[in-house]
Chains A and B, each alone.
Chain A
């Protein structure tokens, strides 16, 4: 039986692994389906991670994290966890997509979040064929072409600015005329001659052919706009990845709020003993790398205390 299972390999999961193993736990496994690093590896620039003074890409920021975090014995399994179940003796079983099962005394859930779809007609059909949620990945395919960005938050505006360096023009579509993004970012975007704002507008549908997206029909007040762009980047918020907590009967293993975010206390404890949550998955998450890392450390420190406290595990 593992002392601790960590589900997810972004900043929260990696830091939890670092603290758990450096803090003395022996059998700690981090489950992450591929190379650890997480969602931040898709960010074009990070300038607010303290101690990293230059502006770096998300990929550069995460470069040495896995190596550092595995230095004290953290193991990484390239497996996807399907579900976490609590056993009658208080331990946990992780059901893997590959069919295997793993037992653990405690679990830290750090599965993060996934970009939300906006919900317009044709969005799913053209996803990967013109509709994208990763500007650093796909901006390259729209060199010297016109593209659209949908959203009004920090990510939308930052990535619009990033795309303006590659594309001939960026239309920023936002359903309001005010922005959630930081004022400095809004100002930078407004002063960028390649970014054109289309405000109080929504995307009604995407159209194209077998080779991909050809344009968008927008709705603005009582008129429709036909925007002929081969690409749209959608940044309309995130959904938390809480699938692993869903039980067979559809209920959640621990309490979650109305948005499905895990409810935790200041020690990152859920209302199930031995089950912790860290990073974007938890309620009131600031959704910043530095906060996720802090959560991971807090969860690990308290998981160590929990495992010491329970002592020997009794059979069911």
Chain B
């Protein structure tokens, strides 16, 4: 069973440096973040071995949020081989996330 990767200051760069990576910036008090939480869980299962599905708790990892200029949550960043390739702000349906991931997986 695939599970999302919890990112923090010590594993962030190492995790995003290769392959396709989705990073969900969230916080416990954020309604729309909670709304997409089960979508992230499902994506982690469906894309196991294909893309890394990750989460950053912006409350605990403020430096990572500042580094990427996060000012709204949820913000979802998509990386390919360490480069920021796409991003979106706010809740969306699973199909929208899948389209973006599939486009990057090529």
Contacts and interface: CB of A to CB of B under 8 A. Distances in A.
A binds B: yes
B38 to A, nearest CB: 5
Interface string A123-144: 0000111101010111011100
Contacts of A134: 30-32, 72
User: Which has the most chain B C-beta neighbours within 10 Å: A59, A98, A134, A137?
Assistant: A137
Given A78-B42, A137-B29, A140-B58, A37 B34 contact: yes
B29 A59 contact: yes
A141 B71 contact: yes
A137 B27 CA distance: 8
Interface string A29-57: 00001110101111000000000000001
Contacts of B36: 34-35
Given A97-B95, A140-B59, A212-B69, A128 B90 contact: yes
Given A42-B31, A137-B30, A33 B72 contact: no
Contacts of B93: 33-34, 78-80, 97
A231 interface: yes
Contact of A128 (B35, B58, B89): B89
Interface of A: 33-35, 37, 39-42, 57-59, 78-80, 97-98, 127-130, 132, 134, 136-138, 140-142, 210-213, 230-231
Contacts of B5: none
A138 B35 contact: no
A90 to B, nearest CB: 28
Nearest to A213: B71
B39 A34 contact: yes
Q: Which 3 A-B pairs have the closest CB atoms?
A: A41-B31, A128-B89, A80-B93
Interface of B: 27, 29-39, 42, 58-59, 65, 69-73, 75, 89-96
Contacts of B70: 141
Contacts, number: 95
A82 to B, nearest CB: 10
Q: Which of A39, A138, A230 has the most CB of B within 10 A?
A: A138
A77 to B, nearest CB: 11
Nearest to A230: B71
A137 B67 CA distance: 19
B73 A138 contact: yes
Contacts of B35: 33-35, 37, 41
Given A33-B39, A128-B72, 5 more contacts: A128-B89, A129-B69, A137-B30, A142-B71, A211-B69
B88 to A, nearest CB: 8
B9 to A, nearest CB: 18
Contacts of B94: 33, 78, 98
Contacts of B38: 34-35, 78
A138 B42 CA distance: 25
A129 B95 contact: no
Contacts of A127: 72, 89
A212 to B, nearest CB: 6
Given A33-B92, A80-B93, A97-B95, A130 B34 contact: no
